[in-house]
Structure 1
Amino acid sequence: MIISKDLFLLGDQDYLRLPKDEKRAMVRPAANNPRLESAPSAAIQLPGAEAPPRPLELVFCGLSVCVARRPVLRDVSGVVRPGELLAVMGPSGCGKTTLLNCLSGRTKLDAGWVRLNRERLSKRWKRRICYVLQQDIFFPDLTLRQTLEYAARLRLPDTLSHAQKMQCVDHIIDVLDLTACQDTIIGDYMKRGLSGGEKKRANIACELLTNPSLMLLDEPTSGLDSHSAYSLMRCLKRYAEKEGKTVVVTVHQPSSQIFHMFNKLLLLCNGQTAYFGEVSKVVDFFNNIGLTVIPQYNPADFILEQVKGSEEMKEKIIAASKDARRLPDYPQELLPEYYSNSVNVCDKYTMPKYDDSHLPANGNVGTSGCHCQGGSWTEARNGHSPHSSPSKTVKMCAVMETGAQNSVYSTIVTVGNDEGKLCLDNQSYASSSVSSSDDDMSWHWPTSFWTQFKVLSQRNFQEARPRMLSKLNWVQTVALGVMAGLLWFQLERKEEALHDIQGWMFFSTTYWMLFAHFGALSSFPPEREVINKERLSGAYRLSAYYLAKMVGELPLTITLPAVYHLISYPMLGFHSAAVFLTLLGFLLLNTVVAQSVGFFIGASCMDMQVSITISALYTLATQLFGGYLATNISPWLRWMQYLSMVHYAYQNMQIVEFSDGAPIECAVQTKFDACTNGTKHIPVQAILDAQGASLPLWANTLVLLLFLFLFRVLGYVVLRYFRRPK
């Protein structure tokens, strides 16, 4: 890097107050460094974006991964520069997807390293890598435009207005040619929506919204016809070249048109490198080892046939690939001594007396000056000549890359006045401008908690509404309410009808418990896949999603039970508005608690059949010990009654109905002892004692609220600590 002389004439506080564009102007790429010249100047800025991200050079060397003691990758290396498209090819099971997982930081390496702009892959880099999975994971009921709009509102920073974020969405839709299908739902195997090619482009569009510098795509052409695959790769090629992106794609067997689009090829065979280099040279590589490509034959088909051949042929190709590492045109970044010769620590320095010899006449910092283990230290004074008294002193270190062809100063670091302090970390320096460290030193969520909560609440509501309030659910609820009302129509308040009144209460609580519980259980597995994908990309906090899901789906959860109650209870016999509303409150509370239990079980069990079995056992036990089907429970089983959420809601409905409603008249042949003493109406306590009730209204309500809180917290704990995406 060439460093402006003005940089050394500023104090540290003055430099930090400079605008970012002026900081960038002080440190610019060296004109005589071919590695830096090969990178595009800057990515095209999306509408409304603050500043385009700097281009990234991806270097990975000696990657080795073992799964269950079986080697999947062995000594795989490669380098991709901005504007280039690297294709990773090989037969099925050769380790293509594992390689992408290594490059994105999702798989732990047994050996080797990955560097982005000479910096080790770290957690903050993982958040900035665009990784397009092979599976197209979306919410099926949202349209393409809605999907992109929600992604933009979540992943683009709060510094952009809503209109600017929508401009970014329009830009991506136009770039990927999705205008014609932007109002079509995503769809799934049950609902017809986007085609396979459109889903692939939609998957890529969601990741492109953040304008990443590095894109990793796993089998983007799988399942597409030749024309759709060619159109998709042409979009990626154009995007990489025009906007200076670094793109890595895995492909299985591309057409000749697609194959010649790639800049570089990494061919894998049994987890090892069979070829790495320019696509235009792969034919010569195979010709040199005696494998001649037939004219007018697709080179991709030919080389895949060779790496699928005999073990002797595979070893021959791998050996030739290893010999190619000793050729002069092999990338220097992949040589073992390239990074080991670069200086990365300045320690125990001694400041020399400042003089003009530290700055060359042309204003650029050269190799002269005091070197501290290869790093050049110099002292600058703000606003004063070198011979005047300094008012502020700043110490700076320029790290020189001695392993490159041309020695350049790659990093500028300012330190305080305390001597002996390390100026650079062993694994964390980067050959970028000073201003890049201002943006990359730590990871920050792109949006605030409130923005994430608001957007996710809206999305959860919009996504769940077609599923929870479908036409079939409406018909089922209305029909069930009418049937229940007709079955228990205008029951007289007599002891003979007491069992029927209790039957309506128990049926209502158990039915909506099962409806909400299994509804949450069946909807969570597909939603979990979307959430895991978005969490891996760093789109939002888990706490924001969890709270938004509770709030966003709450109106939908209580709508159908409320409609059922509105239809059936007046047909049963409307006595008091207060009783009607109180019973509705306990019915809805029981429904929400049941949904919480279903969400917890769904989050805990990865297997749907296991979760259904556990849910069936729990809900059936809840009904058996609810207090209606069985009242004479053995003492050694009575404790299970306290684990039944239906028990508390059912008892509360009885307390309200028989205390505040019309009293129940005693029968001639009564079974209540209180009626034998001349009392005309059955005491409320006698009815409750017959059902085995033991807690007052407030205690039952408190237990239901505790159930709600406990299962919601347990669901969050499971997602946060036990079901974290890897």
Structure 2
Amino acid sequence: MHVTLVPDDVFKEETALLRMNTALMIQLLIGACALQYRYSHAAEKVDNNETTSTSINEEHSTHYERGGLRWCNLGVSVTSCPLTTAAMLDKYSNAASTIDSIYDDITKNNDHCLEDSSWLLHPTSGYVPRGSLCGIIGPSGAGKTTFLNSLGGATVNGGLHVTGTIYYDDGEQQQSQRLSQQNGDIAYLSQHDNFFAMLTPRETLEFAAKLQNQNKKIDDNKELVEKKLSSLGLLHVADRRIGDRTKLDGGGGGGGGFGLKKATKRAGGGAASGLSGGERRRLSVALELMTEPKIFLADEPTTGLDSSQAGKVVNLISKLAKDRNIPSICTLHQPKSSIWKMLDEFILLAPGGKMCYAGNRNDATAYFKEIGYECPHDTNPAEWFIDLVTIDTDDLEQGTKDIDRINFLHHRFLKSCTSLHAGDEQACLDKQQLATNSKDAGTDNRKMFSISRTLQRFGALFQRSLRQNIRNTRVLMLRLGAAVLQAKLFASIFKSVRHDKSLTKSIADRVALLTYGCINLSIMALMKTLDLFAKERGVVLREQMRSSYSSLEYLLAKVFAEMPLDASFALIFASVLKKLTGLRSSMGTLMKTYCLMTISSVSLGFAIGSIASTAETAMALGVPVLVILMVVGVINPSGVNTDEAPNLVMEWIKLFSPIKWAIEALVTAEFRGMTFEKDRDFWGNLKELPRMGGLAMVRDGDEVLDALGLGNANYNKIMSNLAKLTGSFLMFSWMGLAFGGPKFQQT
């Protein structure tokens, strides 16, 4: 190996030069660091939160490129207060107002708009990117459901006012548009699962496909249903009755199967087990995915589920968000650690609807640490965040500190999202106009009137209602037994109504027998109708939000599906009663009258159910209405005092009583042209005189009608009036459904 020796003086010279260069580089590096520190320190004086603000703004900038759901100045108040996040920021900072003069005028004339008590959700702005799962957490009363309803257009018109703008950014086409549940843009999973208990999951999805995807072919809808059943793990229960979870028996029972093969053996339970809580939740998700939604909203999807099922449901929502590349937002109550880790984003709401954070889950701990609140390492972050914005109501001093802390967190969050506040107000207005134009241009053609589609919707509603009624064999058998046994009971009580002869002493019993028959059938028909209305209300409300069908289509489907079934029990009751008693009226007259009276009572139930806001209200209203109509409708068997002037109010109320018209029709048909045979038991007749009253001296049926105030009554005319009353009830039912139902605020 050849080695070259370097002279000693040359080596020393090169070493000195290297040392000089190194010292110069170190000085330059120190100077650059000092300059960088000076600028960063100066910037921190301008805004001590710039680091956090920059990170959040960079995060939002990345999100905007991906597209997603955005809301500007979204708030919910008890009065009309269209404020901006800038106005709320100004409220906390007590600085010069940065909002437009229009908002200056609003706050000047409406000071209450800046009061916390006016808001259920304080105005704020935010963003959830596509393909991510966002959880809304916070203590009870923080406005989680209120916020979710405002995002989904599910806030009912009334005492609340939703302000602000919500629109969807398409990251690919760079277009902004307003979303609507009516067009299938929004999937909203409510807190409670609502189904028709007698249907199967497959049938439930098939009916949803018929109502929501009317442009698709039948085969395409069936293929879609099978795909949903398979992807959500419901194929093994696809033909099992859903059941009613509010009842011990699960709503099952009975065979029957209108247009469907018998249900397969029920896995994991008896014949009435129905679906489990997790299966029902997955079926609810499948219902919301029958269209192609752009966002998925879920209100406490883990309610009523055990820890394992809750994790599976949240994982399912997270998976569909990523598979479909849509934003998914759900409210969560005390999520466990495994569920917390599934979230990509989260929103922290404090009592009063004050948003204290909205952003990436992984950045949250660093954000709160920078403003003085560090999450312990051995704590579930979700629980710690909720505790951070919880107010102690037992300790006044601690509660005051909690309120101050919440106001501080809310203020700091509004400041950190500067790109979403006053500097972006005009952009929000521009987006609102753009979104409005997009909404107007995107009118859903399937909502337009079409005879073929009207018949298609009516057919689906009729088939669904008929299956729901005819499959509940347990209830049907009970009603059948009640009709037969009650007819036998009445026949055994009123024994004087004999087959062999018509006696004077049987007058009161004949009137009472016909009257109790009317009251009995009317009560059964009305209460059954109100009960069905109550059970269907959740399903109908969900479908009303989507405008799946008109109120008239729904009402007519129920009329044709339910009324014939109700009338059949009236026919059975009338036939048994005629067979066991000596009523003079023909079998056809009894059947026709009791049948029409039952249909009229069902129509009355429709009318009451259509105007009642809740199922409890319908039941509470139906009972007193029935009692009033029953009291004013009965006829006094001892006769009517024609010398007293009738009470005009009572006479007016009588016109709306199906019981009144039915009793008058039956009594008229029973006694018109009737002759009485003389009873040879003279002393027995004397004993009956006090009970018979004014009817003791009558000689034939026409005189009985005169004594009862029905001397000029005509059976056909009375039946015509009863039919008109039935039509009036149906008309009132349609008006209640069309105009009295809930209307939702769109933002």
TM-score, normalized by the shorter chain, greater than 0.5: yes
Counterpart for residue 308 of structure 2: 227
Confirm or deny: 8 A CA contact 2:137 2:144 kept in the other structure. yes
* 1:597-641 CA-partner distances (Å, limit 9, x unpaired): 2332343345256414522432332343x3546533663336546
Counterpart for residue 535 of structure 1: 544
Counterpart for residue 134 of structure 1: 191
User: Matched residues in 1 for 2:639 and 2:205: separation?
Assistant: 53
* 1:537-590 CA-partner distances (Å, limit 9, x unpaired): 2221111111111111012211211112222212224889xx212221111011
Secondary structure at the counterpart of residue 164 of structure 1? helix
Counterpart for residue 611 of structure 1: 621
* 1:177-196 CA-partner distances (Å, limit 9, x unpaired): 22333314231222333333
Counterpart for residue 409 of structure 2: 317
* 1:94-121 CA-partner distances (Å, limit 9, x unpaired): 1111111111223365542111236464
User: Matched residues in 2 for 1:303 and 1:197: separation?
Assistant: 28
Counterpart for residue 164 of structure 2: 112
1:593 aligns with 2:600: yes
Confirm or deny: 8 A CA contact 1:255 1:298 kept in the other structure. yes
Counterpart for residue 515 of structure 2: 506
**Aligned counterpart for 2:703 among listed residues 661, 686, 691:** 686
Confirm or deny: 8 A CA contact 1:130 1:212 kept in the other structure. yes
1:492 aligns with 2:500: yes
5+ residue gaps, structure 1, are 1-32, 40-56, 327-331, 345-400, 402-423, 672-680
Which of the pair is proportionally richer in helix? Answer: 2
Counterpart for residue 34 of structure 2: none
Counterpart for residue 306 of structure 1: 388
Q: Which amino acid aligns with 1:66?
A: S
* 1:78-98 CA-partner distances (Å, limit 9, x unpaired): 212322222111111111111
**Aligned counterpart for 1:63 among listed residues 49, 74, 80:** 74
1:525 aligns with 2:534: yes
User: Matched residues in 2 for 1:109 and 1:300: separation?
Assistant: 30
Confirm or deny: 8 A CA contact 1:514 1:619 kept in the other structure. no
5+ residue gaps, structure 2, are 1-60, 80-116, 170-174, 251-273, 392-401, 687-697
Q: How does 1:222-371 map to 2 (within 5 A)?
A: 222-270=303-351, 271-308=353-390, 310-326=402-418, 334=420, 340=426
User: Matched residues in 2 for 1:656 and 1:62: separation?
Assistant: 70
Counterpart for residue 100 of structure 1: 148
Counterpart for residue 478 of structure 2: 472
1:652 aligns with 2:665: yes
Counterpart for residue 83 of structure 1: 131
User: Matched residues in 2 for 1:601 and 1:341: separation?
Assistant: 48
User: Matched residues in 1 for 2:442 and 2:532: separation?
Assistant: 43
User: Matched residues in 1 for 2:576 and 2:313: separation?
Assistant: 54
CA separation of 1:560/1:468 partners in 2, compared to 1, >3 Å: closer, same or farther?
farther
CA separation of 1:227/1:88 partners in 2, compared to 1, >3 Å: closer, same or farther?
same
1:705 aligns with 2:723: yes
TM-fit CA distance, 1:249: 0.9
Q: Which amino acid aligns with 2:454?
A: F
TM-fit CA distance, 1:246: 2.2
CA RMSD of aligned residues (A): 3.4
Secondary structure at the counterpart of residue 363 of structure 2? helix
Counterpart for residue 22 of structure 1: none
More RCO (CA 8 Å, sep 6+): 2
Confirm or deny: 8 A CA contact 2:334 2:382 kept in the other structure. yes
Q: Which amino acid aligns with 2:465?
A: N
Confirm or deny: 8 A CA contact 2:508 2:637 kept in the other structure. no
**Aligned counterpart for 2:227 among listed residues 171, 180, 187:** 171
Counterpart for residue 436 of structure 2: 428
User: Matched residues in 1 for 2:445 and 2:367: separation?
Assistant: 42
Confirm or deny: 8 A CA contact 2:76 2:162 kept in the other structure. yes
Counterpart for residue 149 of structure 1: 206
Secondary structure at the counterpart of residue 581 of structure 2? helix
Confirm or deny: 8 A CA contact 1:532 1:725 kept in the other structure. no
Q: Which amino acid aligns with 2:500?
A: E
1:457 aligns with 2:462: yes
User: Matched residues in 2 for 1:458 and 1:664: separation?
Assistant: 51
CA separation of 1:204/1:143 partners in 2, compared to 1, >3 Å: closer, same or farther?
same
- Structure showing greater radius of gyration is 2
TM-fit CA distance, 1:217: 0.7
Confirm or deny: 8 A CA contact 1:87 1:264 kept in the other structure. yes
CA separation of 1:650/1:492 partners in 2, compared to 1, >3 Å: closer, same or farther?
farther
CA separation of 1:80/1:630 partners in 2, compared to 1, >3 Å: closer, same or farther?
farther
CA separation of 1:718/1:594 partners in 2, compared to 1, >3 Å: closer, same or farther?
same
CA separation of 1:445/1:226 partners in 2, compared to 1, >3 Å: closer, same or farther?
farther
CA separation of 1:696/1:616 partners in 2, compared to 1, >3 Å: closer, same or farther?
closer
Secondary structure at the counterpart of residue 342 of structure 2? coil
CA separation of 1:158/1:91 partners in 2, compared to 1, >3 Å: closer, same or farther?
same
User: Matched residues in 1 for 2:446 and 2:658: separation?
Assistant: 46
Confirm or deny: 8 A CA contact 1:186 1:199 kept in the other structure. no
TM-fit CA distance, 1:645: 3.0
Q: Which amino acid aligns with 2:514?
A: M
Which shows bigger deviation, 173-182 or 641-650?
A: 641-650
Confirm or deny: 8 A CA contact 1:622 1:645 kept in the other structure. no
CA separation of 1:441/1:275 partners in 2, compared to 1, >3 Å: closer, same or farther?
farther
User: Matched residues in 2 for 1:316 and 1:122: separation?
Assistant: 33
